[in-house]
Structure 1
Amino acid sequence: MKDKKVLVTGGAGFVGSHLCERLVAMGGYEVYSLDNYFTGSEANHVAGVTYIRGETKDIAMLVDFMPHMVYHLGEYSRVEQSFDDIEKVWAYNKDGIFSVLEFVRKVGCKILYAGSSTKFGDGGFGRSASPYAWTKATNTELVMNYGNWFNVPYAITYFYNVYGEREIQTGKYATLIALYKEKMRKGEPLTVVSPGSQKRNFTHIDDIIDGLVLVGENGYGDEFGIGSEEGFSIVEVAKMFGGQIEMLPERKGNRMTADVIADKTKALGWSAKRTLSDYIDSLRVDNWGK
């Protein structure tokens, strides 16, 4: 039997590269990536994957084959920075999702959409707290509507604060765990945005990929959350690292909580198997990558 063609948008990014790597390792898939390299990197390329450079809004011109499945991960994905980057947010998230949905509708394949857990933040009010959160929340509605309007098969997943190898460590798009690792390596204070009591459910990249593959193969519909049950405040995380803490002023769009909606994913057999404390301990043993 011929391998199934799978397209991963954002396949050169943090989560996307791990997904490509897993699919190649599993066998049975011919894996393609479509990425504009905004936060993705050629350093994340995986042997056995075919890489296409370009914007998701141009997917119909760039992809000349019929995939069995599209994992749509390639969108803008930062909360606080989205206020300054609103034009990029619109181009990558709104223009992109329409073109991708039209593509899968015409091709007749399934789409797995990576939504954002900000949609569930602060009792649901988090969905409009930032340009990023709003575009992601409304995109999930459009995906569901394409399912209802055009019978497009879909599954929507929600990640919760992903950490692990290949995170962006520096610059305005750095993620928290990687940022703290880099600051510990340099002997710099760990910055905590006030009030510091905001809770997050940090989830290891391998657990995220376990869930993505499982939902991609077996899940249909909305609310496939992929998140660890363990929740920590940002101050608690900084204390786990053990460095000096420097408090920063509050920022717009910074939600306080986000409920983990994972029952449907667990029903498929998924559970989080890695812990943040074990990961931080491994970084400490490695002397923070020095």
Structure 2
Amino acid sequence: MNANAASTDQKAFMRLPCISTLVDFVPSMVYHLGEYSRVEQSFDDIEKVWAYNKDGIFAVLEFVRKVGCKILYAGSSTKFGDGGFGRSASPYAWTKASNTELVMNYGSWFNVPYAITYFYNVYGDREIQTGKYATLVALFKEKMRNKEPLTVVSPGSQKRNFTHIEDIIDGLVLVGEHGYGDEFGIGSEEGFSILEVANMFGGDVEMLPERKGNRMTAEVVTDKTKALGWSAKRTLLDYIETLRNSDWNS
């Protein structure tokens, strides 16, 4: 190995978070939820995506392997997008899909107990509502509040299963306590196109050009989560009506 290669390897190693220096106790389980989570933006942010999603998952898996606890990993429903082709449609989708395989391999290689969940378009309080990382429902709320057109990425027929954050949390706790293995999807059975959501808000629509990585559909994989007793209890339409009643200020 030449000196330049050794230096590069050392720098890469030093980027890895040293979790054992931050956690001074042995947890019964680690919920690994904190990764980069934007599809279209991930093309421009690929260095961040790699650092957060690839370096991060290795550090966390090494930690749970060494302390001997369970990991619950939050995968991405993009893995199931467009009949499975969505898993490689963007840097974000690929890192998340390949991370689920690494979690399963750690289970096989090192007997690390794990559960893998998949979120479907989470909405609710404290969403990012401005800037390039804004989420759709929060962005539409902000635009309605400011009396601006609702921007919809073409073609607008792409379908999403919007799921309230409190339903997501209910599912996470349930799967964390009782679930083992893969495919614990946490998603509402109700699916809406982006144009349908814009119509629910009721504002004028401004169509934007198509973007790379923007899947059209994603299979809802919730059977194993439902078998534990979970179901979505909140609806997107009710949430939008709550926002409307508050003049888009809640």
Normalising to structure 2: TM-score of the pair? 0.93
Name the structure 2 match of 1:157.
Answer: 117
SS for the counterpart of 1:225 is strand
Name the structure 2 match of 1:29.
Answer: none
Name the structure 2 match of 1:169.
Answer: 129
Separation in structure 2 between the aligned mates of residue 66 and residue 190 of structure 1, nearest angstrom = 47
Asked if 1:128 corresponds to 2:128, the answer is no
Normalising to structure 1: TM-score of the pair? 0.80
Name the structure 1 match of 2:45.
Answer: 85
Superposed CA RMSD in Å reads 1.0
Mind listing any 5+ residue stretches in structure 1 that lack a counterpart? Answer: 1-54
Deviations 1:150-195 (A, max 9, x none): 0000000000000000111111111000010011001110000000
Name the structure 2 match of 1:52.
Answer: none
Flag the structure with larger Rg: 2
Separation in structure 1 between the aligned mates of residue 26 and residue 227 of structure 2, nearest angstrom = 30
Asked if 1:287 corresponds to 2:226, the answer is no
Q: Choose which of 54, 79, 82 in structure 2 pairs with 1:94.
A: 54
Asked if 1:146 corresponds to 2:120, the answer is no
Deviations 1:3-53 (A, max 9, x none): xxxxxxxxxxxxxxxxxxxxxxxxxxxxxxxxxxxxxxxxxxxxxxxxxxx
Instruction: Assess if the C-alpha contact under 8 Å between 1:202 and 1:227 holds in 2.
Output: yes
Separation in structure 2 between the aligned mates of residue 171 and residue 60 of structure 1, nearest angstrom = 35
Asked if 1:239 corresponds to 2:179, the answer is no
- Sequence identity percentage: 86
Mind listing any 5+ residue stretches in structure 2 that lack a counterpart? Answer: 1-14
Instruction: Assess if the C-alpha contact under 8 Å between 1:80 and 1:252 holds in 2.
Output: yes
What code does the residue aligned with 2:221 have? I
Q: Choose which of 154, 160, 183 in structure 2 pairs with 1:200.
A: 160
> Which runs of at least 4 in structure 1 moved beyond 4 Å after TM superposition?
none
Equivalent runs, 1:71-82 vs 2, <5 Å = 71-82=31-42
SS for the counterpart of 1:287 is coil
Separation in structure 2 between the aligned mates of residue 272 and residue 57 of structure 1, nearest angstrom = 35
Separation in structure 2 between the aligned mates of residue 287 and residue 190 of structure 1, nearest angstrom = 16
Name the structure 2 match of 1:260.
Answer: 220
Q: CA deviation at 1:56?
A: 7.2
Separation in structure 2 between the aligned mates of residue 95 and residue 63 of structure 1, nearest angstrom = 18
Separation in structure 1 between the aligned mates of residue 130 and residue 187 of structure 2, nearest angstrom = 24
SS for the counterpart of 1:114 is strand
Name the structure 2 match of 1:215.
Answer: 175
Separation in structure 1 between the aligned mates of residue 30 and residue 145 of structure 2, nearest angstrom = 38
Instruction: Assess if the C-alpha contact under 8 Å between 1:60 and 1:99 holds in 2.
Output: no
